[in-house]
Amino acid sequence: MLNKDSARVIALKAICLVALEKRSLSESLFPIHGDDLSFAKSLAFGSIRFYHHLNDIITPRLKKPLEKKNLDLHCLLVLGAYQIIYTDISKHAAINETVEVAKIIDKPWATGFINAVLRGIDRDQKVIIESKHFSHPSWLIKKIKKDYPEDYENILSENNRKAPLSIRVHPSIDRDEFQKELEELNIHSQASDISSQGLIIKDAVNVHKLPNFQNGSCYVQDISAQLAGYLIAPKKGDYILDACSAPGGKTTHIAELCEETEVVALDSDKIRVQKVFENINRLKVKNVTVVQGDATNKDWWSKRLFDKILIDAPCSGTGVIRRHPDIKLLRKVKDVSQATKIQAQILENLWGLLKPGGELVYATCSILKVENEYQIKSFLDKFQDAKNVDIEIPWGEGKIGKQKLPEENFDGFYYAKLLKR
């Protein structure tokens, strides 16, 4: 059982890995399991979620910049300030226990410094709370404001909220019955009106507490992401490609919806390909072939044309910041332009692998128009045999494809559906 001091040390290490070493939260917290560490996770995710705001609170209070070897103390101040400004933790406990961490990490000389800065923040918290701060990097605020001048403040606010736990119930299981099983375990859920298999669990729980999770009863997947399977609409005899398929959520959904299809799951990353295998095995899916290969070339292709293709394109991830707040620290403006180039390469390469009369669904978990609507418009202008197909679901907006902005029960996602004439 962890004590609170140990939890804060683990949270500090995670914050340092993201802020100083530019590694992801999922990587830093991946070995952590169990309820004992939920407090550490909440501190780490919260501190990173509001890092830009907390950094702007702390920096003016430092008489001089910290030396590189002591930048972990800056992260410790972020951890302490997060507890003071954004949690219900007793301010006295938050300050004292954060100061104690300085001793645990062998920097007892810094305790007075940490204490003074955090007490100053505590004294000024009323003014701090009342001031507006979006807690996003300036380049991203600028891009979102340009694309959504009327909605950008709401988008930034939604990005700073915690996302719910959404699951996709296996189609062989009655969703209503599964929901009753959850209620018996005191796990409260809401049925999605967009996904017939979707349930939204407001208070996140350890997935291993879900009924028969290990035996494939359900898959953790946002409601927006669940729409990919329905848009592909697999039917008997279809030969379907899921490009950039890891970790396998959309692959397994397509395969589950129609077991008399052949699905090829393609991904270039060896480690992520293993994740696809793990999910296929847990969900007991039989009609999937996993291939390691690069979607920008044809080296992996068997020369058999596909009836349908799903491109779950690599993107900025700006629609899933609620789930991955480290995106705000790790992503740079140049990454967006690099992503758009790769997206265009994948679209052009895989279009040649689609049968005439076949359909291609393009998806991203981005809200930036350059990756979505503008990307597809450019493709349609270049390929005369491509026709935009209207997406007739009460989800999202748009003339070319549909864009959903992040909101309470949905991640930000974009879908476009193209027919090959």
Average pLDDT, the chain: 95
Contact 229, 253 (CB under 8 A): yes
Which domains can be identified in the chain, with CATH numbers?
Answer: 4-130 (1.10.940.10), 165-220 (3.30.70.1170), 225-420 (3.40.50.150)
By annotation, the residues acting in catalysis are 365
Q: How many CB atoms lie within 10 A of CB 341?
A: 10
pLDDT band at 36 (very low <50, low <70, confident <90, very high): low
Long-range CB pairs of 253-258, under 8 A, 24+ apart, other chains included: 253/168, 253/219, 253/221, 253/226, 253/228, 253/229, 254/228, 254/229, 254/310, 255/280, 255/285, 255/286, 255/287, 255/288, 256/170, 256/171, 256/229, 256/283, 256/285, 257/171, 257/229, 257/230, 257/233, 258/234
The predicted-structure confidence for 135-145, as pLDDT tens digits, reads as follows 999 999 999 99
Contact 197, 226 (CB under 8 A): yes
Q: Which tokens in the block code for residue 111?
A: 């305790």
The predicted-structure confidence for 157-170, as pLDDT tens digits, reads as follows 999 999 999 999 99
CA pair distance 307, 360, nearest whole angstrom: 9
Contact 165, 204 (CB under 8 A): yes
Instruction: Please choose, from the candidates 47, 39, 53, 40, the residue with its C-alpha nearest in 3D space to the C-alpha of residue 18.
Output: 47
pLDDT band at 30 (very low <50, low <70, confident <90, very high): very low
Q: Residue 1: its pLDDT value, please?
A: 43
Contact 377, 419 (CB under 8 A): no
The predicted-structure confidence for 57-93, as pLDDT tens digits, reads as follows 999 999 999 999 999 999 999 999 999 999 999 999 9
Q: Residue 277: its pLDDT value, please?
A: 97
Instruction: Please choose, from the candidates 244, 198, 222, 230, the residue with its C-alpha nearest in 3D space to the C-alpha of residue 412.
Output: 222
Q: Residue 304: its pLDDT value, please?
A: 98
**Is this model's pTM higher than 0.85 or not?**
yes
Average pLDDT score over residue span 262-278: 96
Those residues whose C-beta lies under 8 Å from the C-beta of residue 172, and which sit 6 or more positions away, are none
